[in-house]
Amino acid sequence: MARTPVPVTQHWTHHLPLMQQTVLLLALRGPDGLRKYHPSKYLLRFLRRCVLVSAYDGRVLATPGEPGGGSFTGPAYPCSLPTVDRTTDWHRPMSAVVGNYIAALDEVPHHFQLHLLHAAEIVGYRHPSPYHADFWRGTYYRLVADMHLRPETPEELDLRLGDDPDAWAAREDPAVRE
């Protein structure tokens, strides 16, 4: 039986500025040229679960280890991680996934890394579940620290990725102006 068409993005994302929604969508595509089980793929699966409704299941998959999702939004744990309660106790194993990703960053295209970093920031500041937001905000802080940078505040994020063209112009480098 055919489903009634609904947005593929989770309801909470519909309240974000259009620029932030766009950043999230662009980050959901994996990087080209990396092996199928690269650490980035597991982190992306969980990001997709936090932003998208699983097309495979027709519902939100709320935790990284919950069964379902096919290969695009499938479980985010590599087989090598210890078995945990897949509905509640996921911060520690997912922290290991982030660590594996950071350890493999030399293999990751920089452009993809920035998309993922900015998506982690948005989910970390805006996800309605404090548990999920805490994980992604911590991931954002780790990714920023790895680049020897300081994180943006939520207010700075909204200036950079709000829907105000004057705010964009005030922040852009003269080299990118037409």
pLDDT at 160: 92
CA distances 138 to 30, 91, 98, 120, 164, Å, are: 21, 10, 10, 9, 28
Per the domain annotation, does 20 fall within a domain? yes
- Residue 17 belongs to a domain: yes
Residue 37 lies in a domain: yes
Residue 79 falls inside a structural domain = no
Give the range of the structural domain holding residue 148, as residue numbers without chain letter. Answer: 11-67+86-165
Tell me, yes or no, whether 6 lies in a domain: no
Q: Inform me whether the pLDDT recorded for 83 exceeds 60.
A: no
Position 84 pLDDT exceeds 60? no
Count of domains forming the chain: 1
pLDDT digits (tens, 9 = 90+) for 46-55: 999 999 999 9
| pLDDT given at position 90 | 87
> Is residue 76, in this structure, part of any structural domain at all?
no
Q: Is 80 among the domain residues?
A: no
Q: Are 48 and 26 in contact (CB under 8 A)?
A: no
**What is the tens place of the pLDDT at every residue in 103-121?**
999 999 999 999 999 999 9
Tell me which amino acid residue 168 is.
Answer: W
C-alpha distances in Å from residue 172, one per residue of 85, 134, 137, 151, 168: 45, 29, 25, 18, 6
Residue 99 included in any domain: yes
- pTM, rounded to two decimals: 0.91
